[in-house]
């Protein structure tokens, strides 16, 4: 078989070296699990030894010996019997407790078609006989196939059953692949948070990060997620996509997302009775969905499934597979178990007086421009009082040599750290991002965070972030540049190219000292605002009554050099007619580049209009976030009960539906007609801690409900049963609601019509 690699390290810290042509994922040892798989706990016997291993009763590597099923002999079906069930009394003919009798049934080759029986029948299937030697292990396998095929075909002379034979073809491929089915991706875990008129659904990323399918070469063949919703416990609502025979076959999702990999649309292979599987539209992966198409008080059943892209190159092709959905009911049709990719949730109105959890933002001194807004989506998943820090990945596009602050850069990712637990909880980057949050720019040959829309991250610890990033790379911010103090006519123009390397915050500060700054003589040529080189008429050692300082980096004070472009070519600096270029110096004292140009030409030669001592002009740029930028916030717990709001909200308490007429959408359907209808009405806008009493109009107490909801839940359901457990009669009823915390009261009435 293919081999894995050589371990040149230790068992604790293995170092794998793969030789050319080796299949990195096959020489995995007796446990059959390699380092790329979910349940790998370290090297085991036979792993990475460049040979297949098999120890009977212990284990075997994939596609070898006991696991190479296709090398064994197929005995096939040798006996089929169909007969009426026999009396269960001695001598127990044709019952398994009578070995001799059953041997005579299954040990005889008989594949006779039976069509006459119309009774309670027994079917027996058998393969054999074959020898079973001492110490020998034989693995027995069978496939039982079921299909929906048209009766006219089944009743025809050739017993046409195309759907059944398509299943048989697929099973044959599975057999020849050593039972290594085309497995769906790892099953995700779904979480649901009820809200007011909405349900927030989140799931983990185990499917898109941990899936490895040995059936297709041990690669991660995950393709996307589909989210299904139903209002019945058997998840029948979404199954509305039919096959070519009109049989309901596929579920219709309320949400689907898939990897941006070019694999889109319907499959043209592995068709299920003429129907292809929809693989998505390159929407990009995300791990949350907010369902706003719900009604408060109604119970919804959600299931998230991960699916792969199938196996188009195996035989005629194998259709994509997705996770199964398991909801188990007892005999009374109550849910007794559901799988981790299923959630059952009922949205509700907020409780009277409830003050929800909140977020406190901490002040940050940021170099970058943009807004980061955390939003609570799933309050049940919040980590109260935890502090989070948001930072950004920075890609340096170009630099200025010998100058530490000379660079052009963009943001390529975002990180979130839980500072309380010292743990990174979220990271979005070019190899793993949500939807179109990150874009590739072929002109710069780099990725960057999307600046064309508001970015919304995935959910972490019940929170997501909204990011408004105005620029991909730095640009001059004319709106926020200008006079801080003063109002003299001045022209400040950033250079078209070089300014992008020096896009920081600057101040031009004017004084009454004519020699406040003297040019350093740092360059014999510079570039102007249009990036054209200036070789002549430069005055590099002039005196100025103002200076320019970089205000971005608070840990240092950097003064910029100034060079005069002698526009009138008279060899002298004239502040009213010449232009001044401003730029930083390298570590060697050389001109690093031109940031902007200053002139006072709009003063029209009037020196009285020049800036005065104490005037300050600010130059700023819009920038991506820098490596030192950190945005911090804290999750605050829900506040104390708002008693005034509680009193006001209790005035809005009502019964839904009112009147109650026969049934309503909140009541779950019951398939078994021997079971009673599960009646339901609800009280809304109630306090989370209260007592509800229900009376007849004559004052007889019908039922008392002691309410101890979660703090945010303002809905209470009543099953229309009296305190004795009997169904109440039709008629008019009164209710009394009293808050346990404030003793506020509300009375009302409702009607029941059956």
Per residue in 71-97, pLDDT tens? 666 677 888 888 888 888 888 888 888
Mean pLDDT of 296-318: 91
Is the pLDDT confidence value at 229 over 90? yes
For residue 691, what are the β-bridge partners?
706, 738
Q: Over 507-526, what HEC string results?
A: EEEECCCCCCEECCCCCCCE
How much is the pTM? 0.76
Is the pLDDT confidence value at 329 over 60? yes
Alpha-carbon distance 529 to 518, whole Å? 22
Is the pLDDT confidence value at 203 over 50? yes
- Distance from chain centroid for Cα 671: 35
* Residue 384 structure tokens: 């109260």
Tell me how crowded residue 155 is: count the other CB atoms within 10 A of its CB: 9
pLDDT of 25: 56
pLDDT of 21: 47
Mean pLDDT of 280-295: 94
What radius of gyration, in Å, describes the C-alpha atoms of the chain? 38
Share the mean pLDDT of the chain.
89
pLDDT of 2: 40
Alpha-carbon distance 29 to 48, whole Å? 7
Is the pLDDT confidence value at 177 over 90? no
* Residue 487 structure tokens: 């109002």
Is the Cβ–Cβ distance between 483 and 615 less than 8 Å?
yes
Alpha-carbon distance 706 to 712, whole Å? 16
Mean pLDDT of 164-178: 78
Is the pLDDT confidence value at 450 over 80? yes
With CA atoms as reference, report the closest residue to 344 among 458, 188, 199, 187: 199
pLDDT of 531: 96
Letter string b/e over residues 195-223, b meaning 16 or more CB atoms within 10 A of that residue's CB: beebbbbbbbebbbebbbbbbbebebbbb
* Residue 521 structure tokens: 């003589």
With CA atoms as reference, report the closest residue to 754 among 641, 698, 677, 653: 677
pLDDT of 656: 94
Straight-line distance from the first to the last Cα atom of the chain, in angstroms, rounded to the nearest whole number: 71
SS3 assignment, position 71:
helix
Residue showing tokens 């079971």: 675
pLDDT of 175: 75
Domains of the chain in sequence order: 1-75 (no CATH), 77-129 (no CATH), 147-176 (no CATH), 190-345 (no CATH), 385-475 (no CATH), 481-619 (no CATH), 643-753 (2.60.40.1930)
Give ∠ CA 109-115-118 in degrees, rounded to 5: 120
Mean pLDDT of 216-222: 84
For residue 439, what are the β-bridge partners?
448
pLDDT of 661: 94
């Amino acid at each position: 078989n293919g081999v894995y690699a050589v371990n040149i390290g230790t068992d604790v810290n293995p170092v794998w070296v793969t030789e050319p042509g080796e299949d990195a994922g096959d020489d995995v040892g007796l446990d059959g699990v390699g380092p790329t798989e979910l349940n790998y706990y370290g090297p085991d016997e036979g792993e990475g030894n460049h040979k297949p291993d098999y120890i009977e009763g212990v284990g075997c590597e994939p596609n070898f010996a006991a696991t190479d099923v296709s090398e064994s002999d197929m005995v096939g079906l040798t006996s089929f019997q169909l007969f009426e069930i026999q009396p269960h009394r001695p001598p127990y003919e044709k019952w398994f407790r009578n070995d001799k009798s059953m041997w005579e049934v299954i040990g005889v080759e008989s594949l006779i078609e039976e069509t006459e029986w119309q009774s309670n029948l027994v079917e027996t299937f058998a393969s054999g006989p074959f020898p079973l030697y001492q110490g020998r292990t034989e693995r027995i396998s069978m496939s039982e196939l079921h299909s929906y095929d048209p009766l006219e075909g089944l009743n025809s002379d050739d017993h046409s059953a195309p759907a059944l034979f398509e299943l048989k073809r697929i099973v044959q491929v599975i057999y020849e692949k050593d039972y290594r089915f085309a497995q769906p991706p790892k099953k995700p875990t779904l979480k649901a948070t009820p809200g007011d008129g909405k349900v927030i659904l989140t799931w983990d990323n185990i499917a898109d990060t941990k899936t490895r399918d040995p059936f297709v070469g041990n690669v991660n063949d995950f393709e996307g997620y589909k989210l299904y919703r139903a209002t019945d416990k058997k998840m029948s609502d979404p199954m509305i996509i039919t096959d070519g025979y009109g049989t309901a076959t596929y579920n219709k999702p309320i949400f689907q997302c898939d990897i941006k990999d070019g694999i889109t649309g319907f499959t043209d292979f592995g068709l299920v009775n003429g129907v292809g599987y929809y693989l998505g539209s390159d929407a990009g992966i995300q791990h949350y969905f907010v369902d706003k198409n719900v009604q408060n008080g109604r119970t919804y059943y959600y299931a998230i499934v991960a699916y792969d892209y199938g196996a188009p190159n195996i035989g005629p092709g194998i259709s994509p597979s997705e996770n199964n959905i398991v909801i188990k009911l007892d005999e009374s049709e109550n849910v007794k178990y559901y799988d981790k990719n299923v959630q059952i949730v009922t949205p509700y109105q907020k409780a009277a007086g409830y003050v929800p959890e909140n977020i406190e933002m901490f002040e940050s001194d940021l170099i970058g421009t943009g807004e980061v807004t955390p939003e609570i989506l799933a309050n049940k998943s919040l980590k109260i009082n935890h502090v989070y820090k948001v930072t950004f990945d920075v890609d340096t596009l170009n630099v200025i040599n010998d100058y530490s602050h000379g660079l052009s850069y963009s943001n390529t990712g975002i990180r979130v750290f839980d500072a309380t637990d010292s743990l990174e909880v979220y990271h979005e980057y070019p190899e793993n991002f949500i939807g179109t949050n990150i874009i590739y720019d072929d002109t710069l040959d780099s990725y960057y965070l999307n600046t064309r829309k508001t970015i919304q991250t995935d959910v972490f610890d019940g929170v997501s972030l909204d990011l408004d990033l105005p620029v991909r790379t730095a640009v001059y911010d004319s709106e926020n540049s200008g006079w801080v103090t003063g109002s003299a006519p001045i022209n400040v123009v950033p250079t078209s190219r070089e300014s992008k390397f020096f896009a920081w915050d600057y101040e031009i500060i004017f004084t009454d000292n004519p020699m406040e700054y003297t040019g350093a003589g740092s360059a014999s040529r510079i570039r102007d605002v249009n990036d054209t080189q200036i070789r002549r008429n430069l005055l590099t050692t002039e005196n100025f009554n103002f200076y320019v300082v970089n205000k971005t980096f608070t840990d240092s004070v950097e003064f910029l050099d100034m060079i005069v472009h002698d526009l009138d070519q008279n060899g002298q600096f004239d502040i009213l007619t010449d232009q001044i270029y401003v730029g930083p110096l390298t570590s060697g004292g050389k001109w690093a580049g031109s940031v902007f140009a200053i002139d006072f030409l709009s003063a029209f030669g009037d020196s009285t209009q020049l800036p005065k001592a104490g005037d300050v002009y600010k130059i700023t740029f819009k920038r991506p976030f820098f490596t030192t930028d950190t945005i911090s916030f804290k999750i605050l717990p829900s506040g104390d009960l708002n008693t005034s709001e509680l009193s006001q909200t209790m005035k809005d308490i009502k019964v839904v539906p009112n009147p109650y007429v026969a049934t309503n959408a909140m009541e779950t359907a019951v398939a078994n007609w021997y079971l009673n209808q599960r009646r339901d009405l609800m009280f809304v806008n109630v306090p989370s801690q209260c007592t509800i009493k229900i009376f007849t109009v004559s004052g007889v107490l019908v039922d008392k409900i002691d309410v101890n909801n979660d703090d945010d839940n303002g809905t209470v359901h009543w099953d229309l049963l009296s305190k004795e457990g009997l169904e109440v009669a039709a008629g008019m009823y009164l209710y009394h609601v009293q808050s346990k915390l404030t003793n506020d009261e509300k009375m009302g009435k409702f009607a029941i019509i059956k």
